[in-house]
Chains A and B, each alone.
Chain A
């Protein structure tokens, strides 16, 4: 399976600032990465699909201008939460879709906990 890292693992910021979260596929070239958000005691909700070299596909209800996604290489996708507010506080998790026989598997990063004061 793929090994996925995220940075930072947690971040605390003031309301109105922007925060960038990195997702790296360490041993696998990922053309597709996914960004999820998870609120406490809730399920993972897909925010967007990040495609290498093209625009991300956002799920309904997710503001593309607020959650900027850049997938500039096969190993790195970034999520920038712009003008963050307390309601954006959540656990953000990225995942990589496997290749070959693992195409239907997802490999998750460790997550980034964002707290907006």
Chain B
């Protein structure tokens, strides 16, 4: 079952912050985050595993609450290069195939 993402789209000014949420009705083992630019393949951002993990890469971080079956992606002081569609992917258990959310379209304006 496909996870739910919110919001569907967000427009920011450079330097502003954004939060993208991902939730699932099924128990989760891991959550993955990807960013896709128009016409390109998705690029892996990070993976979070069970245990209430938080990870970060530069000014992009994420949290995973397996009890609530949800994850959030935090973009701090957004840059123009952050524009794209963000997908969360969920794996219900180790080794299970991924299911991607519908995506959140992020546009960062100068």
Name A's B-contacting residues (CB within 8 A).
Answer: 1, 34, 42-46, 49, 93, 103-111, 113
Q: Is the CB of A43 within 8 A of B102?
A: yes
Is B27 at the interface (CB under 8 A from chain A)?
Answer: no
Residues of chain B lying within 8 A (CB to CB) of residue A46: 97-100
1/0 contact string of B84-99 vs chain A (CB within 8 Å): 0001010100110111
Residue contacts A-B, CB under 8 angstroms, 26 given: A34-B98, A42-B102, A42-B103, A43-B2, A43-B100, A43-B102, A44-B42, A44-B87, A46-B97, A46-B98, A46-B99, A46-B100, A49-B97, A93-B41, A93-B42, A104-B30, A104-B47, A104-B49, A105-B32, A105-B44, A106-B32, A106-B98, A107-B44, A108-B44, A111-B41, A113-B39
For the complex formed, measure the closest distance between the CB of B56 and the CB atoms of chain A, giving whole angstroms. Answer: 17
**In the bound complex, what is the Cα–Cα distance between A111 and B34 (angstroms)?**
15
Taken together as a complex, chains A and B put the C-alpha atoms of A44 and B89 apart, in Å, by: 10
Name the B residues within 8 Å of A108 (CB-CB): 41-44
Chain B 66-93, CB within 8 Å of chain A: the 1/0 string?
0000000000000000000001010100
Contact with A along B18-43 (1 / 0, CB 8 A): 00000000000010100000011111
For chain B, the bracket of interface size reads: 20 to 34
Point out which of B2, B32, B41, B44 has the most chain A C-beta atoms below 10 A from its C-beta. B41
B91 — which chain A residues lie within 8 A by C-beta? 104
- Roughly how many angstroms separate A97 CA and B63 CA in the complex, as a whole number? 23
Query: Is there an interface contact between B41 and A43, defined as CB atoms closer than 8 Å?
Result: no
Docked complex Cα distance between A103 and B99 (Å): 16
Within the assembled complex, what's the spacing in Å between the Cα atoms of A106 and B40? 15
Kindly list chain B residues whose C-beta atoms are within 8 Å of the C-beta of A49. Answer: 97
Contact A105-B97, Cβ < 8 Å, known A43-B87, A44-B87, A111-B40:
no
